[in-house]
Structures are given as structure tokens and as C-alpha cells.
Chains A and B, each alone.
Chain A
Amino acid sequence: MEQDWIWGLIGGLLIGTGGAVYLLFNGRIMGASGIIGGLVDGSGHSTKWERLLFLLGVAVLPIILMPFYREVNTHVTDNMIVLVAAGLLVGIGTRIANGCTSGHGVCGMSRLSVRGLVATICYILAGGVGVIIFRHLLGVI
């Protein structure tokens, strides 16, 4: 669709505004993997309720917006092996690297963090290579 990039830009501005609110009001970096991971292993500075309410907001807003959309589809694969492998890689990888697309990508690069930039280059390259291998060579996704 031709207007996809406009919705991407608007959505991106909203995501960044969310990150700005979390930083300026709560003094925290809005990284999804860190917020979830802290609930799992108790690390980090935010309180449990801060994390839970953040995640509640993330999950609830799409439900509110959904009636305005004709079609909503995640197109998640039904290949369970791929899903389990991908989930494990994302879970372990983001916690070892201490960040994901939101923490290292959006929050890190916007403050010119070298670590954020290096992490972003690594996961984009790995993701691109992954798609080449698993889609074009092996045909599993």
C-alpha cells in the first residue's frame, strides 16, 4: 500500500513520544526487552507496577484502536519450531545485549550511544542474513 510509510511515520512519532514521556516523567529508558526482562529476573530500577502498567498500556491501546481498522493481521507463521527458536533467540539475545529495537534502536541511537548503534547494526545485519538464509535458501519462512 502506498500510504504505509505515512502511517509508519505517524506510528513512529507516537512510539518516540511514548519514549519521551517515559524518560522525562519516569526517568527511565523505554526498552521493551528490559521492561519485560526485569519482571522475569528482577533486575533494573523500575518498580514492578511501573513495568506492568507500561506493558498493560502497550497491550490495551491496540484493542482500543482496532475497531477503526478493517483488517488486522500479524501474519505470524504457524511453524511452531520456527516460533520457539525465534522466541528463545529474541529472549536470550536481548537480555545478553541488554536491549532490543526500542532500547538500543530508538532510545540508544537518539542519544548517539555507540553501544546502541553497534547493537542496531548487529541485529539488522543478523536479521537480514536470517531472512536470506531461512526464506531464500531454506524456504522455511
Chain B
Amino acid sequence: MRNLFAFIAGGLFGGGLFISGMTDTTKVQGWLDVFGNWDPTLAFVMGGAMIPMAIAWLITRRRSSAVLGTTFPPAPSTEIDRKLVIGSVMFGMGWGLAGLCPGPSIAALSYGGTGLYVFVAAMLTGMVFAPFFRTKLDRVVPAE
């Protein structure tokens, strides 16, 4: 049952990415490019997505567990560490370079062509090596 709802959720996500135009790299880069021909679409996608999501978070407060029995995610950590900042800056650079982030790269698998496969292969490779960088960042403790 959880597999079925994972498929439904994924379908809504993929369909939404497709309809919103977020698998078109020019729209993503157009939004990031404030000095070029600025494209506001991404802000509407983000804003639109946060409405049902915020309602869902409110509903979780009134329930003890998810409909299919699993527990809800714990309250978010408030720790701002260098992994969060360095990782997000790296991600943003790659996002701006190619106009692709993980969700849309999967949604566009059927029509993205060779370039998209190269990106996805590189992304998966990066994910394989990420634990190595993570432990490195953990090990470097700032001097007291």
C-alpha cells in the first residue's frame, strides 16, 4: 500500500514538474538570471507547492501517525552547520550551471536526450562519493 501511495505521490510530483515547465532548463536559468530576461515562473511553482504542503504539516499536528501506520518525521533540526551551507552552495552552483535539480532530471528521463543522461549519471556518481566529503566536513572541527 505504501508503494502504491509512493507511486501516486511521485506521479503528482512528476506531473507537476512537467506541467509547470520546470523540466525546461531555460525556465530555471531564466529565473536565476536576474540580470537577463527574468522569468518569474519558478516563484509561482515554489509558492504553489508550499500551499498544500503547509496544510499537510498542519494536519500532522492533529494525528499521531501517518495514514499507513508509519510515524511522521521528527521536528526539524535547527542546527546550521557547514555541511548545510557548503552543500547547498555546491548544489546551487550545479543547479545554475545546468538548470537541472534532482526532481526534474528524473521527470525528464523520457525526453531529455543524451545530455540529460550525462547529467543524471554524473549526479549519481556524485551521490556515491558524497559520504566521503560528508565525513571530511565532519572531521574538520573549528578550533575552540
Contacts and interface: CB of A to CB of B under 8 A. Distances in A.
Q: Tell me, yes or no, whether A binds B.
A: yes
Interface centre among B65, B107, B121 (most CB of A within 10 A): B107
A72 B17 CA distance: 12
Interface residues of A, number: 111
Contacts of A82: 97-98
Interface string A114-141: 1110111011111111111011100001
B24 A74 contact: yes
A137 to B, nearest CB: 11
Interface string A28-69: 111011001100110001110111011111111111111000
| Interface majority SS (helix, strand, loop, mixed), chain A | helix
Given A8-B21, A24-B67, A96 B102 contact: no
Interface residues of B, number: 117
A128 B5 CA distance: 35
Interface centre among B80, B92, B93 (most CB of A within 10 A): B92
Contacts of B108: 62, 74, 76
A16 B107 CA distance: 15
Given A27-B68, A95-B87, A110-B49, 20 more contacts: A5-B44, A14-B16, A17-B16, A26-B6, A54-B9, A62-B15, A62-B23, A74-B24, A76-B113, A85-B122, A86-B94, A87-B121, A90-B123, A91-B94, A94-B87, A97-B90, A100-B91, A111-B53, A111-B54, A135-B29
